[in-house]
Chain A
C-alpha cells in the first residue's frame, strides 16, 4: 500500500475529503461574515448564534409543523434572515457612524442573549434531527465510505458560495452594492436606496448562516452552543482570508478544512489549534490576510 509519512494513502485521502466537508461549513459561514463586513463594516459576532438558530428553525419546522428538510432549507434562512433585518433596522443602523468596536460589542451581546435563551429553554444536550430519507446511505469510494448527505453538503456549499461570489462581483446588483460601500452618498444621489440595500445585505448574510445551520442539523446535534464552538474557527478563517474578501473567505474556508483534516491524521491532539497557528503566521507575514486588500 502506498504510504505518505508512514500513513496509508487511503486514510489520507479519506481525511482530506472529510476536511473538504468541514471546509464547506467554514466557507458558508465565513462567506456570510465577509459579505456583512465588506458592505456594512460590521463584525457580526451574532453569526454563530444565527447559525444555531437556523438549525433550531429546521428542528421546529420538522417537529412542530411537519415541514421537511428541503422546505426548511428555504424557510429557515428566510425566517432567521427576517430577524436579521429587524436587528439591523432597530439596532445596527444606529451604529454605522461609530467605531467598529460598537458593532462588535452589540452583536457579541446579542449572541450571548440568544444562546442563553435557547439554552435555558432547551438544555444543552441537543435535540435530534434526522438525515432526510432521500440522502441517507452512502457510497463506498474504495478508500472510504462517503455518506450521501456529506457529499450533498459539499455540492450545496460550493454552489451557494460561487453563486454569491458571482452576484456580488459580476452582476449589476453586485456593482451597486460594491459602489455603495465605497461611497454611499454618491450612490444615493443616483437614486439608489442605500439604507434598504444595506438592510437586505445584512439579512442575506444572516440567512447564509441559517442555511449553514440547517445543513449542519442532521450531522451535529441541534445544540444551543453549536455556533459558539464553530464561530471562533470561522473568525480565524475570515482573518486568514482577509476581512471582507468574498473569494478569500471561500478559498480559505475549504483550504483550512483540508489542513485541519490532515492534522487529524498526523497529530490529532493539535487539530483544534492548527487553524490558529496558521492565523498567527499569516497575520505576521501579511496582516491584511491572504486575499485582503486593505
Chain B
C-alpha cells in the first residue's frame, strides 16, 4: 500500500519534473529527518516526526499547486550518537542531495549537525533538540531552532516553581550537552528568582536505574528535585521517585523537559500534578485538534509531541521559503525563512529571529488527575501562557556571533 503510493507519486513526479526550477539542486527538494528512530527518544521524535514531515509536504503541495518541483522525505536513525549523526549528515549532504535536515533530538548530535550544515551551506531545522546554545554561542546562518529550548523550559518552569515556594533545588542531570545546558539555564533562573541550589548529580545517559541518585537527592533535603533529563530517563526517574516515597516525604519533582508521550508512558496515576513547560499541546484549539486527529489516524491513534508538531510547522515554513526564494540553497532559504512571518495551524503566527530562534507562545501545563481526564490522551490543563515576546532568551543575552556582528 505504502509502496504503491510511493510508486505512484514517483511516477507523477517524473511527469512534472520537466517544469522544475533550475535553481533547485538535483531537481528535487530533499528533506532528511534525522533523529532517534529506535531508542530512548524514539516515541517523542522517531517515526512520528517522519510522518509529520510528510504531512507538511502534502499540505504544502495542496496549497501551492504552482510549485511543481518534486519534494522527497527520507529518514535515518542517529542512535543519539554524535558520530553516527555526523556521518549520516555528511553522506546526505555530500552524495545523497539532501537539502535540509530536520528534527535532530539529542543536543550533542544537533550541535554537531548544526556545524556541518553551516560548513556545507545547507539548512538545519531543529525541533526536538534542546540546547539553547544552538541560537547562542553556536548559532549559524544555516540553522533555525523551531520548537523549544533549554532557556525557555528553565524560565517557564523554574520561575513558576520558585514563585510558589520551591526555593531549594537538587538537580538530577543527564550527563551530556543537553542535560548540562538545561541544568545551567535552570540554575540561573532559580538563583535569579531568589532560590538556592543545594546539590546536583550527573547520571549516565541513558540510565535505567535512578535509585542511588534519588537517594542522594533525598539526603540533600532540597524542596525541589529538578530532572534535567528527557524521555525514558525522566519517566524512570519519576516512577522510581514514587517508589522511594520522595513525594510523600515532602519533596517535589520538577520535570524540566516532559513530552506528552512521557506522560502517556507513565500513566496519569504517577504523572498527576507534574508541572512543566511546552510549546504545543494537541488540545489547545480547533486547529491543533484537527491536525492532531489527522496525525493520530496515521500513527496508531497516538497524539503528537511538541517535537513532532515542530517538525511539521518547520518543514511547512521551509517549503514556503524555498518557493519564495526560488532556490534550495541552504543559506539563502534560511535567510528567507527569517524574513517571512511564520503562520501554521499548530503554532499560530510567529517569526524567526536573526539568531535562528523561532518565536511563539510558551505554555505552563499541569498533568490532570485521573478523575479529571475525560478520555485517552486528555492529560494536560493549562496553568499559564507565557507570551511569545517573553518566552525565549532575549537575543542580546545569547552571545550569538551573528547578532553581535551587526
Contact = CB atoms under 8 A, between A and B. Distances in A.
A123 interface: yes
A11 B175 contact: no
Contacts of B211: 18, 21-22, 150
Contacts of B206: 229
Given A124-B38, A138-B245, A221 B235 contact: yes
A18 to B, nearest CB: 5
Interface in A88-136: 119, 123-128, 130-131
Contacts of B262: 125
Contacts of A11: 215-216, 219
Interface string B19-58: 0000000000000000000111011101000000000000
Interface stretch (A155-163, A202-210, A263-271): A263-271
Contacts of A145: 218, 244-245, 249
Interface residues of A, number: 40
A64 B209 CA distance: 27
A150 to B, nearest CB: 8
B289 interface: no
Contacts of B236: 220-221
B212 A265 contact: yes
B141 to A, nearest CB: 35
Name, among B209, B213, B218, B270, the residue most crowded by chain A CB atoms within 10 Å (CB to CB).
B209
Interface stretch (B1-9, B196-204, B280-288, B319-327): B196-204
A31 interface: no
B261 A125 contact: yes
B296 interface: no
A147 B235 CA distance: 18
Interface in A241-294: 261, 264-265, 268-269, 271-272
B17 interface: no
A268 B213 CA distance: 9
Contact of B239 (A18, A221, A230, A265): A221
Given A124-B39, A128-B266, A269 B175 contact: yes
Could you say which interface size class chain B belongs to? 35 or more
B290 interface: no
Nearest to A273: B204
Nearest to B302: A123
Given A22-B209, A125-B231, A145-B218, A269 B240 contact: no
A226 interface: yes
A219 interface: yes
A18 B212 contact: yes
A173 interface: no
B116 to A, nearest CB: 26
A176 to B, nearest CB: 38
Name, among B38, B44, B269, the residue most crowded by chain A CB atoms within 10 Å (CB to CB).
B38
A48 interface: no
A50 to B, nearest CB: 17
A192 to B, nearest CB: 42
A82 to B, nearest CB: 27
Contacts of A18: 211-212, 215
A277 to B, nearest CB: 14
A119 B37 CA distance: 10
B42 to A, nearest CB: 4
B249 A271 contact: no
Contact of B265 (A125, A137, A229): A125
Contacts of A149: 243
Contact of A268 (B38, B203, B231): B203
Name, among A126, A127, A131, the residue most crowded by chain B CB atoms within 10 Å (CB to CB).
A126
Given A124-B40, A221-B235, A268 B240 contact: no
Contacts of B201: 268
Contacts of A264: 212-213
B267 interface: yes
Interface string B285-299: 000000000000000
A19 B215 CA distance: 12
Contact of A230 (B38, B208, B240): B208
B381 interface: no
A263 to B, nearest CB: 9
B306 to A, nearest CB: 15
B245 A147 contact: yes
A123 B44 CA distance: 10
A131 B232 CA distance: 18
A138 B212 CA distance: 16
Name, among B175, B201, B244, B262, the residue most crowded by chain A CB atoms within 10 Å (CB to CB).
B244
B264 interface: yes
Contact of A119 (B38, B218, B245, B264): B38
Contacts of B175: 269
Nearest to A270: B204
14 contacts: A8-B219, A15-B212, A18-B211, A18-B215, A19-B212, A131-B243, A144-B218, A145-B249, A219-B243, A223-B232, A229-B208, A261-B212, A264-B213, A265-B212
Given A147-B244, A230-B208, A265-B212, 11 more contacts: A14-B219, A124-B43, A125-B261, A125-B264, A125-B265, A128-B270, A130-B269, A138-B245, A149-B243, A229-B208, A269-B202
